[in-house]
Structure formats: structure tokens, C-alpha cells
Amino acid sequence: MTAKKKTVIGYVLASLAIIAADQALKAWVVRNIPLNASAAQQRALIPGVVHLTHIRNSGVAFGMFSGGRWLFLALLAAFCVIVVWALVRHKLTAPWERWLAVLAMAGAIGNGIDRALYGYVVDMFELEFMHFAVFNIADIAINVCCILFVLLMLLRKEPEKPEQPEENSGENVPTEEEPPAKEPEELTEAEGAVLKGEKPCRTIPIIPILRAMRI
């Protein structure tokens, strides 16, 4: 099995785990805690910190923007299409980018299932130490992943660009009109003497002189 297939299987399993946990807890709350439960009917989860209650939320995360069932489903479908497209087209390069996008999509699907079936979402977590909206597992996945994604994008350092070589000023660059200088090996004896500051030796044509003397 290739590394790519293992990664895809990991995405699917993690998404299914979030969706299953979200739906299972919602079903348990509906069966065991009355709707809009009183303080006596609520279930303590962490005493003094958070307890379980039962409310119906027709909005988005944390009860915002109530109403608009089909609008939210359309936005959910668009969000899932964008995430899948980004994964397939490799728009998310870092592994943490891909994982956060997949887990946020899983949370959105968890709430989308409720909204498609009932027109509302079941929420149950209520904080005791501060006044905050009631939320569920899907809300946690969506908001935690989105916040981490934004923070990590802001903190990510851009790769340093390699230094560009300095442009040649144009000095000592042979032009097309000027032939390149000869290497020392290619210089004649006379040219070498001139370069050394010596007077070139004048060669005497001995053979023509001897031939002339025989006449």
C-alpha cells in the first residue's frame, strides 16, 4: 500500500470517527435528557466546568444565524466541494493544512446530517464557569480546526528565496566585434616578446640568401 493510500484511509477513518461520535452522543442526549432540561435534569460531565443539557439549534455553530435550513445545506455542500478540490489539486501543501481541512469538513457533515433530517442540530455541552453558547462535538471540530488553521497560517514562515547573482557591470565582457584575447599558448614568439616588454627578434631568411650566393 502506497503512502498516499494510507493518508487517504487516515482521512476517511478520522472523519468517520468524528461523525460517529457526534451522532452517537446526540442520540444518547435525545433519549436520556429532556428537551430544554432544568438544572436538576442536566447531567454533570466535569463538575463546575461543563455539563450536558439538551437544546435544539436551528442556526449554525453555537446557535448563530438561526433559520435558513436549505441555505446552510447549500453552504455545507459548497464547503465540502472546496475542501475535496483543494485536496485533489494539491492546493493544501502542508500535512497539517490537509488534516485540519478534513476534520473541519467532518464536523460540518455531522451537523449537516441533523439539519437535513430534522431541520435543527442537537447541542449538549454547556459551560458552567462562563456564559457561552451550547455546542456539540461537530461544533468543536469545526471551530478548533478553523482557529488552528488561521493561527498556523499567520505563524508560518515563508521559505527564504535564494540570493540572486549580481548582474555583471559589463566590464571585461568581450563583444561580438572584439575577438577574444589569445591564450598564452596561442601567441607567436614575437607577440610573446612584446607582451613581456622585450624587443622581438627579427628572423633572417638564411635559405634564400644561400641560394642567391650560389648563382
Same domain, 109 and 8: yes
The answer to whether the Cα torsion of 14, 19, 21, 24 is positive or negative is negative
Residues with a catalytic annotation lie at 123, 139
Same domain, 194 and 150: no
Same domain, 70 and 127: yes
Distance CA 70, CA 52 (A): 28
Amino acid identity for residue 111 in this structure: N
Grid coordinates of 210 = 644561400
Amino acid identity for residue 108 in this structure: A
Domain that holds residue 61: 3-155
The answer to the question of residue 125 being in a domain is yes
First to last CA, the chain: 100
100 phi/psi in degrees, rounded to 5: -65, -40
Same domain, 102 and 201: no
3 state DSSP class of 45: strand
The answer to the question of residue 177 being in a domain is no
The single residue listed with the C-alpha cell 482557529 is 147
> 116: burial class by Cβ within 10 Å (0-12, 13-18, 19+)?
middle
The answer to the question of residue 170 being in a domain is no
Amino acid identity for residue 61 in this structure: A
pTM score above 0.85: no
Same domain, 71 and 21: yes
Q: How many domains does the chain have?
A: 2
Per-residue pLDDT of the chain (215 residues; tens, 9 = 90+): 788 889 999 999 999 999 999 999 999 999 999 999 998 899 999 998 999 999 998 865 555 555 567 788 888 899 999 999 998 888 888 899 999 999 999 999 999 999 999 989 999 999 998 888 899 999 999 999 999 999 998 887 766 666 666 555 555 555 555 555 555 555 555 555 555 555 555 555 555 555 555 54
3 state DSSP class of 130: coil
The answer to the question of residue 145 being in a domain is yes
pLDDT at 198: 56
pLDDT at 105: 94
The answer to the question of residue 174 being in a domain is no
Task: Among 155, 179, 204, identify where a domain stops.
Answer: 155
Length of the chain as a residue count? 215
Same domain, 96 and 20: yes
